[in-house]
């Protein structure tokens, strides 16, 4: 039952009457749901039974149980918000209406309904008088638009929030919140230098507020800025710094009066991701990622689970356990199909397509998955366009369409180069070189793969670098005529 508390009252309130009231409201909200859904909510959320035991007794897979439970969450949250408006008691500490709307939007976001969350907050922004609150809401709107792949709309929302922050006459919290979301947009656009500058400035402003009355909000916003900063640092190969930023985010989150579980999970994932290039024990990384994945599913945080699945599948494939990666993505596929349009949804299909492309007999399935990924992507997304081209190159190469693979890899390399994604630039060149080799253009293959090795050496990515070096060895170390095709 406590999973529904943040949408209704302050998490620190322990009044038994109100706990029972919320229990009754939740049961009322699910009264009109199908019997199986009602039983699942009552036994897992209200009565506290283990998911595995409930699923077994109902003859369901845990995946299906999570899906049924997620469907009922929206109705429950709406009922709780209505109930909050109807009940006013002096003994209860009720969150501000703004906080409740933000909590509701966050719930929709985690369920993968980004469009509904964005619509909710956009309407709310037009009803708020406080400039600071409008800055906070419009910054959230910008972040949701960015997650949907609507970068230009996100930039417009961020500019609106920035103009409102300027009108607040030196409100450090408002300015720092906007700088954080602008840093996220810069990261999305591949502008790493700009992203770092914005996020550092945001962090400096937020740290200055930690001893004041805005501490709670500043602490959560600082953690978000540090998590994004960790992602930027990991993207440019600064893995030690990325780990430090993620650890600082975790430290700040520990001091929150009301724990923010979503940011705590994001910080754990950021630290584990960066640590994968620093730690010597890959099993520890796998264990931590698996714990993050299970925690996300247990909280119905579908979007978090999808994002963690990318890293978990990478670990499985790195260890040569492709079957486990395939099983993981297969279990999520029915859930992901029901998510609204988002970059994460597109990335899921592209990652799955890359898995399938490694098996020649799966070429048709991989192409269908690739098309679904493309359909989940909106215009003006150069990084996702590059990923689609890279996946196309892999699929075409596996299917024997070498010329098409070479062209797709070449276009992907061009886009990744413009975006500053050195590692993926090197990966694209490696695929292009392999396509040249299959067409017996060994000279072109050697030159291209050498460029790939140079790029991957700069990116400090040992796995892809070793693969490119192996390809180069087979091209040049076995007595082949490297002038052929020059």
Q: 448 falls in which pLDDT band (50, 70, 90)?
A: very high
For residues 458-479, b (16+ Cβ closer than 10 Å) or e, as one string? ebebeebbebbbebbeebeeee
Spatial contact of 340 and 113, defined as CB atoms under 8 Å apart: yes
Q: 356 falls in which pLDDT band (50, 70, 90)?
A: confident
Among candidate residues 63, 132, 38, 120, the one with its CA nearest the CA of residue 305: 63
- Tens-digit pLDDT profile for residues 288-331: 999 999 988 888 888 999 999 988 888 887 777 888 888 999 89
Angle at 141 between CA 139 and CA 144, to 5 degrees: 115
Q: Note the pLDDT of residue 478.
A: 52
Structure token pair of residue 136 = 């906070």
Q: How far is CA 200 from CA 177, 216, 245, 269, 468, in A?
A: 12, 19, 11, 21, 35
Q: Which domains are assigned to the chain?
A: 1-92 (1.10.10.10), 298-380 (1.25.40), 381-486 (1.25.40.10)
Q: Among 104-113, 242-251, 476-485, which stretch is predicted with the lowest mean pLDDT?
A: 476-485
Full-model pTM:
0.68
Q: Which range scores top for mean pLDDT: 83-92, 118-127, 393-402?
A: 118-127
**CA 215/CA 221 separation, integer angstroms:** 10
Spatial contact of 13 and 27, defined as CB atoms under 8 Å apart: no
Average model confidence (pLDDT) for the chain? 81
- Tens-digit pLDDT profile for residues 89-142: 433 444 567 777 888 888 888 888 898 899 999 999 888 889 999 999 999 999
Q: Note the pLDDT of residue 11.
A: 39
**CA 397/CA 359 separation, integer angstroms:** 11
Among candidate residues 481, 413, 401, 479, the one with its CA nearest the CA of residue 443: 481
**CA 52/CA 328 separation, integer angstroms:** 17
Does the structure show a pLDDT above 90 at 62?
Answer: no
Query: Which distant-in-sequence residues (6+ apart) come within 8 Å of 21 by Cβ?
Result: 83, 87
Residue listed under structure tokens 């978090």: 304
Above pLDDT 90, what percent of the chain? 34
Q: Note the pLDDT of residue 78.
A: 65
Among candidate residues 315, 330, 233, 220, the one with its CA nearest the CA of residue 266: 220
């Amino acid at each position: 039952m406590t999973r529904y508390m943040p949408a209704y009252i302050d998490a620190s309130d322990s009044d038994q009457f109100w706990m029972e009231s919320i229990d009754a409201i939740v049961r009322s909200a699910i009264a009109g749901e199908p019997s199986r859904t009602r039983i699942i909510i009552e036994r897992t959320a209200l009565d506290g039974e283990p998911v595995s035991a409930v699923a077994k007794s109902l003859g369901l897979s845990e995946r299906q149980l999570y899906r049924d439970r997620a469907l009922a969450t929206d109705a429950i949250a709406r009922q709780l918000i209505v109930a909050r408006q109807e009940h006013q008691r002096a003994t209860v500490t009720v969150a501000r209406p703004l906080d409740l709307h933000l909590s509701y939007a966050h719930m929709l976001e985690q369920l993968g309904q980004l469009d509904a969350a964005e619509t909710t907050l956009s309407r709310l922004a037009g009803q708020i008088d406080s400039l600071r609150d409008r800055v906070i809401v419009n910054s959230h709107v910008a972040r949701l638009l960015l997650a949907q792949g609507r970068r230009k709309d996100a930039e417009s929302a961020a500019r609106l929030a920035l103009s409102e922050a300027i009108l607040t006459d030196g409100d450090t919290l408002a300015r720092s919140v906007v700088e954080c979301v602008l840093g996220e947009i810069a990261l999305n656009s591949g502008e790493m230098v700009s992203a770092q500058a914005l996020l550092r400035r945001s962090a400096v402003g937020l740290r200055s507020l930690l001893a004041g009355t805005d501490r709670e909000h500043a602490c959560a916003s600082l953690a978000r800025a540090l998590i994004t900063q960790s992602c930027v640092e990991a993207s440019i190969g600064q893995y030690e710094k990325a780990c430090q930023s993620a650890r600082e985010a975790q430290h700040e989150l520990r001091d929150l009066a009301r724990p923010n579980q979503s940011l705590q999970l994001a910080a754990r994932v950021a630290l584990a991701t960066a640590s994968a290039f620093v730690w010597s024990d890959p099993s520890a990384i796998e264990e931590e990622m698996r714990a993050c994945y299970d925690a996300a599913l247990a909280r119905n945080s579908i979007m978090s689970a999808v994002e963690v699945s990318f890293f978990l599948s990478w670990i499985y494939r790195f260890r040569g356990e492709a079957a486990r990666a395939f099983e993981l993505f297969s279990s999520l596929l029915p859930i992901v199909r029901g998510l609204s349009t988002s970059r994460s949804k597109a990335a899921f299909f592209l990652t799955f397509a890359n898995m399938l492309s490694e098996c020649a007999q799966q070429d048709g399935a991989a192409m269908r998955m690739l098309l679904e990924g493309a359909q989940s992507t909106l215009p003006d997304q150069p990084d996702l366009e590059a990923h689609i081209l890279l996946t196309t190159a892999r699929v075409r190469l596996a299917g024997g369409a070498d010329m098409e693979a070479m062209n797709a890899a070449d276009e992907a390399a061009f886009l990744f180069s413009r975006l500053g994604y050195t590692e993926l630039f090197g990966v694209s060149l490696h695929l292009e070189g392999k396509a040249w080799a299959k067409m017996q253009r060994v000279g072109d293959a050697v030159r291209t793969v050498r460029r790939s090795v140079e790029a991957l050496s700069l990116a400090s990515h040992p796995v892809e670098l070793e693969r490119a070096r192996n390809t180069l060895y087979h091209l040049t170390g076995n007595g082949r005529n490297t002038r052929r095709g020059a």
